[in-house]
Amino acid sequence: DTLWDLAIAEVEKRENPDDDDVKPGEVWGKSVLFMGNKNGGKTTIILRCLEREESPKPTLALEYTFGRRARRHNAPKDVAHFWELGGGTSLVELIRVPITSHNIRSFAVVLVLDLSKPDELWTTMESLLQVTRNHVNKILTKLEKTNPEVAAEIKQRMWNDLQRDHPDYALVDPFPIPLVIIGSKYDIFHEFDSEMRKIISKTLRFVSHYYGASLVFTSKSEALLLKARALINHLAFGYDKSKSVSVDPSKPLFIPAGLDSMSQIGPPPASDSDLGKMRANTPLELWKKVFEKTFPPKSFCALQDTKDPAQDIQYAEYEVDVMRAQKNQELEQYKRNASKSWKEMDFDSD
């Protein structure tokens, strides 16, 4: 365990000494990692879930906050740990920091996709989910050797939202930990051509169902934010999950995990002749090809954030910045002197 994990465990033990569900030394509470498009609205969603009246600031790397809620009157308050990955896909390796073998049983992921940027949608989604899944699978592989009961519990929980008698039971590949996909900026998306909206909506429905995830479209609208908040509160605080469903492509989608089906979603939005020409090894790959034919993706490199976090004004520190500027000047002078001395050196040519 890291010092951070031990500190959290100690605080929870002191604040909730009478909670029967907490085992000695175990962190009590849920953890949720928010990731997705840069400037996609992750911070705004977190602040709304925590009912904080703050102006969102850009997230540069990995930020942490927490929320506390009591599920009933006079009950100890549950604690939810909120992590936010900034920089879109450029800092995806940082997911190793919050997701550990210590908290994997109580961890969930919220993927926020900017609906107003369909050319970034699939690349962002694929990159973030792939790295996260690989990391979680490595943790599960280690747990199978050190704590097989916990590993088996997590793997079984993957299928909780999809009953064995569901017609798609053999066609999906659930994400190893709970996942919610949020389509943000619905207000801009709603102005798109109806055919474009249909393709994006059907694709996200398929991806969410394939991964056993919940799907919700949201914007700055209070009513839509409340729907997203309901799904997140289920992950973070164990609130009852909503059973309402909205699959009308002309309206914001709201589909809790396990309440959709391949038959309702339908085939990929392409003609039979186009589908026949596409070679794909999995249904997910086929949907990717269809989606990217309509919305050619930006290259992965184009999605990388090249901005230097040290130059961001929100972290300005006058004395530190002055000293850094001085050291940068000294470094440049050293480079010039070193270059000059190398040029002046006389090498023997044998």
pLDDT digit string, tens, across residues 43-97: 989 988 888 877 777 777 889 998 887 766 676 778 889 999 988 888 888 999 9
Q: 30 with 122: CB under 8 angstroms?
A: no
Closest CA to 34 of 236, 279, 169, 190: 236
Helix (H) or strand (E) holding 129: helix 118-146
Which of the four pLDDT bands, split at 50, 70 and 90, describes residue 115?
very high
Q: 87 with 303: CB under 8 angstroms?
A: no
Helix, coil or strand: residue 92: helix
Q: Return d(Cα 176, Cα 179) in angstroms, integer.
A: 9
Specify the pTM. 0.78
Q: What is the pLDDT of residues 193-228, one digit of tens each?
A: 999 999 999 999 999 999 999 999 999 888 888 889
Q: Return d(Cα 68, Cα 81) in angstroms, integer.
A: 9
What pLDDT is stored for residue 342 in this prediction? Answer: 64
What pLDDT is stored for residue 337 in this prediction? Answer: 82
Any idea which of 14-28, 281-295, 300-314 has the lowest mean pLDDT? 14-28
Q: Return d(Cα 109, Cα 68) in angstroms, integer.
A: 18
Helix, coil or strand: residue 139: helix
| CATH code given to domain 26-294 | 3.40.50.300
What residue ranges do the domains of the chain occupy? 26-294
Q: Return d(Cα 101, Cα 104) in angstroms, integer.
A: 5
Q: 85 with 117: CB under 8 angstroms?
A: no
Q: What is the pLDDT of residues 171-195, one digit of tens each?
A: 899 999 999 999 999 999 999 999 9
What pLDDT is stored for residue 107 in this prediction? Answer: 94
